[in-house]
Structure 1
Amino acid sequence: MISLNLSASLNPGLTRTRHNPTRFSPLHAAAAADKPFSCQYPLSLPQIPTLQIREKPFLSILKRSRSVAAATGGEFESSEEAAAKENKKAKNLQLGIVFGLWYFQNIVFNIFNKKALNVFPYPWLLASFQLFAGSVWMLVLWSFKLYPCPKISKPFIVALLGPALFHTVGHISACVSFSKVAVSFTHVIKSAEPVFSVIFSSFLGDTYPLAVWLSILPIVMGCSLAAVTEVSFNLGGLSGAMISNVGFVLRNIYSKRSLQSFKEIDGLNLYGCISILSLVYLFPVAVFVEGSQWVQGYHKAIASVGKPWTFYSWVLLSGVFYHLYNQSSYQALDEISPLTFSVGNTMKRVVVIVSTVLVFRNPVRPLNALGSAIAIFGTFLYSQATAKKKKIEAGDDDKKN
């Protein structure tokens, strides 16, 4: 029998065993009696490895991610702010390009439209071709899926009949005015459009604050002064510009009343549909009014220009850029507030007037220039006043809700 005194020769490997105080064993009994423990058999105690508890992988990843987020939170926030600033810069750049195209396309349209009318004074046919060019443009975009085609229904067509009719009246009247007077004079008279807007809207029940009524006074005074001092004054040109104002104002008013339930159709598609329907309205009337003079007028135009392609290019550019500048205006309106659009439209008239005066070298008297400036400044005041009116109405609606 082999006696082993555990108190004297304890296997070193035994020190790595786990101690469980709740379990009673002979070792505990011997230790309590202060007696050596004897065993009759050889005792071989294996070395028990130390138990190591490891964290699960996802827990460690979660801790690391939290520590990284806590350490770099400021950097993440600053990067988001930087991305927002970059996005704002890109949006402002895009809006600036749209405005630049809007102005440029409008200038090109007015120049080549006037050149074509100078040698071919038949505005009904030219206005019809401009609507035709816009209709073809939109049909190409829809056919090749370059722009989403609107869902056209019978109620939408019925609601579109009125706005398209008034758009036709406004467009042909402006073309008649362009054919008889200087482009600058037509645009000065067309700056009086807010006057007709306030008057017609008031008849239909809308109310305007005193600031709006006061803003139209300089428009009336400026247009009157410009008309009296205009070198190329023509009663037909003046009446054409005035009728154009009436037509476009009624188009806007009627569109708000009849097309409110078709908000899923964006501005560009709406203008495309109006162009197609306006062409259907205008062309038969154009044939009736001046169709018998087109052939003779065409030969005179070719003889005066010298090269047929020169005349063709003028007509083509007037049609294409007429649609493009309207398309750009609708794109700009989708991105900015109505007030910014009104101010931009006012500045556009200034740019167009100055550009056409420089191109066609129209004589401008000092009083005529002063009247034009007063009228355009009045449209700016009108934009400011109507914007405040809309803010007040929006605040009242919020209180009611």
Structure 2
Amino acid sequence: MLSLNLLSYTNVTFSKPTSKYPLNASLLDPNLVNRARSHRTTRCQSPVPQIPSSNINHGFTFVSPNFQIPESRSDFGGHPCGFSSRFSSHKLGAAAGTPEEISPDGEIKDPKPSKNLKLAVVFGLWYFQNIVFNIYNKKVLNIFPYPWLLASFQLFTGAIWMLVLWSLKIQPCPKIDKSFIIALLGPALFHTIGHISACVSFSKVAVSFTHVIKSAEPVFTVVFSSFLGDSYPLNVWLSILPIVFGCSLAAITEVSFNFGGLWGAMISNVGFVLRNIYSKKSLQSFKEVNGLNLYGWITIISLFYLFPVAIFVEGSQWIAGYHQAIEAIGQPSTFYLWVIVSGIFYHLYNQSSYEALDDISPLTFSVGNTMKRVVVIIASVLVFRNPVRPLNALGSAIAIFGTFLYSQATAKKPKVEGDEKKN
């Protein structure tokens, strides 16, 4: 309750009403209205008679005994004439033809075209870098079919990249301790499994087929999360049906079908899903580490996981395979360039995806990731001229459309989780 000392002369400020709370001009003192209209740029004063306290509702001043200001609209601004600064900025933005953003608390935010431009650039780089990686990764594997060494080199490139960013202070290096490293061991292990399995799949089948099978990742997310206690509504379960059907149709009609390539892509889905689930459980206490730094440390630890195993699995074949690759390509410099480009762009597209995820909602990121697979599949088919049967194309389209439906069905889930964290 507000207490007011009413004087014979009271400063009165007016705020132009919104359509939600219209003011009836007939209720105002005509002299006061005319004076307000003629002096919009100066403080308005008008003699107001003393009003008994019984006529004051919730401590608000009446301009006349018949007129009261609604409590919900008592937020007058500091404009000299009493017009709310919030209202003035809104009118100014409308006059300039600029879209306005209104926050939940009613504040009008200035538009941020620079943020939208940055997001468009990040998305464009994400798609372009992913296409370049997939093309050169496949080119190397076509003449040097040793995915364990290539996957290790790609992690090595990412580790060197992050060390350079940290040493030059382009990216702030996070403060780490023993508990942080221990918490990363699980996610890094599953990341290693996902990465090497995808690389094995790329070495055995067409890039387009691997990406179609990898579009089934939501199926594994729902299944594994359900085993761990999460519940999903019926529409989420229904959305994974076209994914399963589309992937099955694409698999049985794939010209370059290979069981090793199929299982590699499936295991890659399992690895990345478990990485995401395990990260949520083990990294809850390290939210101050941003996504790029987190991915950098996962890359470094994954390199220590993968390279010793790579030596054991195929190390004895590397020298002979290298000579065969140089003989096939003709120039060693071309082979080196392809390997380096695949390593650099592998890290860059993951870096761009983390930067995009920092600025957009999980739903937008999921839809963008689905469309990214479409772009990569089309680009790979055009570059490598892989034969595509009509049923194979139909199955691929159904699977990717199912992934889009899954993104829509789970759109509300992140918001609920976010509200629970806030509460």
Name the TM-score, length of structure 1 as normaliser.
0.80
- Which is richer in helix? 1
Matched letter for residue 228 of structure 1:
I
Distance 1:76 1:241 in 2: 54
Q: How does 1:229-378 map to 2 (within 5 A)?
A: 229-378=253-402
- Residue correspondence of structure 1 range 49-198 to structure 2 within 5 A: 70=80, 78=91, 87-198=111-222
Identical-pair percentage: 76
Distance 1:77 1:223 in 2: 51
Identify if the C-alpha distance between structure 1 residues 66 and 270 changes in structure 2 by more than 3 Å, giving closer, same or farther. farther
Retained in 2: the 8 A contact 1:114–1:178?
Answer: yes
1:199 counterpart = 2:223: yes
Shift in CA distance, 300/260, structure 1 to aligned 2, threshold 3 Å: same
Please list every run of 5 or more consecutive structure 2 residues that lacks an aligned counterpart in the other structure. 1-40, 45-77, 101-109
Aligned-partner SS, 1:320: helix
Following superposition, the deviation at residue 335 of structure 1 comes to 0.2
Q: Distance in 1 between matches of 2:256 and 2:99?
A: 52
Decide whether aligned partners of structure 1 residues 397 and 316 sit closer, same or farther in structure 2, where only a CA change above 3 A counts.
closer
1:3 maps to what in 2? none
The amino acid that maps onto 1:161 is L
Higher CA-based Rg: 1
Q: What secondary structure, in the 3-state scheme, does the structure 1 residue paired with 2:133 have?
A: helix
How far residue 70 of structure 1 moved from its aligned partner, in angstroms, is 3.5
SS in 1 for 2:410: helix
Aligned residues: 336
Shift of 1:65: 9.4
Instruction: Give, in angstroms, the shift of residue 369 of structure 1.
Output: 0.2
Alpha-carbon shift at residue 84 of structure 1 (Å):
7.9
Shift of 1:391: 3.9
Structure 2 distance, partners of 1:206, 1:263, is: 22
Contact map agreement 2:362 2:414 (CA 8 A) in 1: no
Q: Can you list the C-alpha shifts for 1:46-93, whole angstroms capped at 9, x where unaligned?
A: xxxxxxxxxxxxxxxxxx997995479676655577688674221111
Matched, 1:384 2:408: yes
Question: Whole-Å Cα distance in 1 between the matches of residues 90 and 201 of structure 2?
Answer: 58
Please tell me whether the aligned partners of residues 188 and 223 of structure 1 are also in contact (alpha carbons under 8 angstroms): yes
| Larger relative contact order, structure 1 or 2 (CA cutoff 8 Å, min sep 6) | 1
Q: Is 1:211 aligned with 2:235?
A: yes
Change (3 A) 1:233 1:388: same
- CA–CA separation in structure 1 for the residues paired with 2:196 and 2:390: 30
**How many Å separate the matches in 2 of 1:200 and 1:148?**
35
Contact kept? 1:209, 1:389, Cα under 8 Å: no
Stretch of structure 1 that moved more, 381-390 or 186-195: 381-390
AA paired with 1:263?
A: K
Within 2, Cα distance between the matches of 1:303 and 1:256?
47
Report the secondary structure of 1:232's partner residue: coil
Q: Extract unaligned runs of 5+ from structure 1.
A: 1-63
Query: Is the CA contact 1:129–1:319 (under 8 Å) kept in the aligned structure 2?
Result: yes
Seen in structure 2, the aligned counterparts of structure 1 residues 66 and 136 have a Cα distance that, compared at 3 Å, is: farther
Q: In 1, are the aligned partners of 2:155 and 2:299 still within 8 Å (CA)? A: yes
2:117 and 2:42 map into 1 onto residues whose CA distance is 37
The whole-number CA distance in structure 2 between the counterparts of 1:87 and 1:111 is 38
Map Cα deviations across residues 25-59 of structure 1 (whole Å, 9 max, x no partner): xxxxxxxxxxxxxxxxxxxxxxxxxxxxxxxxxxx
Tell me: CA distance 1:396–1:257, structure 2 relative to 1, closer, same or farther (3 Å). closer
